[in-house]
Amino acid sequence: RKEVEQDPGPFNVPEGATVAFNCTYSNSASQSFFWYRQDCRKEPKLLMSVYSSGNEDGRFTAQLNRASQYISLLIRDSKLSDSATYLCVAFYNQGGKLIFGQGTELSVKP
């Protein structure tokens, strides 16, 4: 079983739609979580950190449920420019490793 698992993609949605990505992690030692965005053939870039209390940044909302070992990302009013692969990432303080999920591809259509 992968340490970090995400919804299989791709997600094809129209502009303006709301889309939700889910992610689960298996190692309860994971201490921090992030969502990264990766455009085709580019390096990943940090989208947002994920906190137990939930956090929002504009159209993006991230949530962490430690009891269920579950992370989510909600994108509201999706834009064409949101098209990318979204990576769920777990961070371990010990060793400082980032473990990536397989990514979920999002394609926003006009």
Q: How far is the CB of 104 from another protein (least distance, A)?
A: 10
Taking CB under 8 A as the binding criterion, the range among 22-30, 53-61, 72-80, 98-106 that sits at the site for another protein is 98-106
Separation of alpha carbons 89 and 79, rounded Å? 23
Q: Which of 59, 79, 97, 109 binds another protein (CB under 8 A)?
A: 97
Angstrom CA distances, 60 to 1, 46, 104, stand at: 28, 13, 16
Instruction: Report CA-CA distances (Å) from 103 to 67, 95, 97, 100.
Output: 23, 23, 17, 8
From 22-30, 51-59, 60-68, 93-101, span contacting another protein (CB under 8 A) = 93-101
Among residues 64, 71, 87, 90, which is the contact residue for another protein, using CB under 8 A?
87
For residue 64, how many other CB atoms are within 10 A of its CB? 21
Binding residues vs another protein (CB under 8 A): 32, 34, 41-46, 49, 87, 91, 95-103
